[in-house]
Amino acid sequence: MSHGLSSANARPGTELNTLQVKAQDYFARGLADSSHRTYTSAQKQFLQFCRDFSFDPLPASNDRLILFSTHLAQRIKPQSIQVYLAAVRSLHGLPNPLQPGLKLKQTLRGIERQHFSPPKQNMPLTFDILTDLHSFITPSSIDDIVHWAAITTAHFLMLRASEFTVPPSEVFDATSRLTTADAQFHSSSDGMEYLTLHIKRSKTDQCGQGVTLNTGHSGHAVCAVCAMKKNLAVRGRPFSSTTPLFQLADLSPVTKAGLVTFVSHLLRLIGIDPSQYSGHNFRIGGATSASLAGLSDYEIRLIGRWNSDCYRRYIRSPLNLFLGYPRKIAQTQAIKFQYANPYTPPDEGRTSEN
């Protein structure tokens, strides 16, 4: 009889342990992998800071956070300090156990005023520039074909670099990255051929629901549909759900750094300083070209999948919006983007003349 009672009493404890394990797993999954890596690095630095100065890391007081922020200000950008503080708060296992007091807030403002530097100005890789770059693409080079397909696809679909490139240290994961099976060609009801691209996961799609994007022919030498056809032709059929969509001659997937290096080389050939171009310029360039082509804010946000007002979720956009967009972009070839010089404030202490 006592044995039966013991088993009954043990069951709630076992179930509680199971719930605790699941709760911890849910808590961990609440952050994206990239956020986990950032938080882990920041937490390690905070713990090391506490060891160096013989502080008790937990609970972390506002005074402790002020000293940690001052320590960080000597080597990282002011805007990054907030991320480190968020990581320290997460050590407590609560959403926000440390409300920043007035002294901490004022200290952070002081750090920003003292150490602020203007962010690097990313220039758009616009359609007129792509037109000039196209003449330097070698038709017989597999790497040129693959890189060009990645560039034009990113431009017309306003892709984030993380959506079509692979980090150099990462083993290619076909369950989350683009494969040759994710690019397909179709014909609309009026006979217009177009490309569909299935994005499995993105920055704004942490649950991995996926999204299928559409783009048509541009009627120009710079065309994502034409470039994608050539890219798939060098891969050969059948298309595989495990082969990277953008795969170089050595069978390695295209990386962000490799693509930026490729574009930088081309930019130098047309006399443009590549120092202000990075992986984000493909998305910026696509949006800028769309604006030059006269697309509305709504159309640009829709094609680029930027978060906006909820009303957009209820609008069902016609297919021809996506298929006709590349031809509008192609008409901007003669429109040169006006590169303005960054604003330089007047010297401190200098008075203006009346």
Cα 325 to Cα 113: distance, rounded to the nearest angstrom:
43
Which residue do the tokens 């506002």 mark?
62
Cα 29 to Cα 18: distance, rounded to the nearest angstrom:
17
Domain boundaries defined on the chain: 32-115, 127-330
199 CB neighbour count, 10 Å cutoff? 20
Q: Tens digit of pLDDT per residue, the chain (354 long)?
A: 445 545 555 566 688 878 877 777 776 666 666 677 788 888 898 999 999 999 888 888 888 888 999 998 888 888 888 888 888 887 776 445 455 678 888 888 888 888 776 666 678 889 999 999 999 999 999 999 999 999 999 999 999 998 999 988 788 888 889 999 999 999 998 899 999 999 988 776 666 678 899 999 999 999 999 999 999 999 777 677 889 999 999 999 999 999 999 999 999 999 988 887 877 788 888 988 988 888 888 888 888 888 765 334 444 566 777 888 899 899 888 888 766 555 566 664 444 444
Q: What homologous superfamily is domain 127-330 in, according to CATH?
A: Intergrase catalytic core (1.10.443.10)
How deeply is 99 buried, as exposed, middle or buried, from its count of CB atoms within 10 A (0-12, 13-18, 19+)?
A: exposed
Q: Does the predicted model carry a pTM greater than 0.85? A: no
Cα 320 to Cα 326: distance, rounded to the nearest angstrom:
11
> What is the CATH class of 32-115?
mainly alpha
* Of the candidates 92, 74, 76, 93, the residue with the CA atom closest to the CA atom of residue 84: 76
Instruction: Give me the sign of the Cα torsion angle 67, 68, 69, 71.
Output: positive
- Asked if the domains at 32-115 and 127-330 fall in one CATH topology, the answer is no
Q: Residue 183 — φ and ψ, nearest 5°? A: -110, 125
Considering all CA atoms of the chain, what is the largest pairwise distance in Å, rounded to the nearest integer?
A: 100
Cα torsion at 291, 292, 294, 298 (round to 10°)?
A: 0
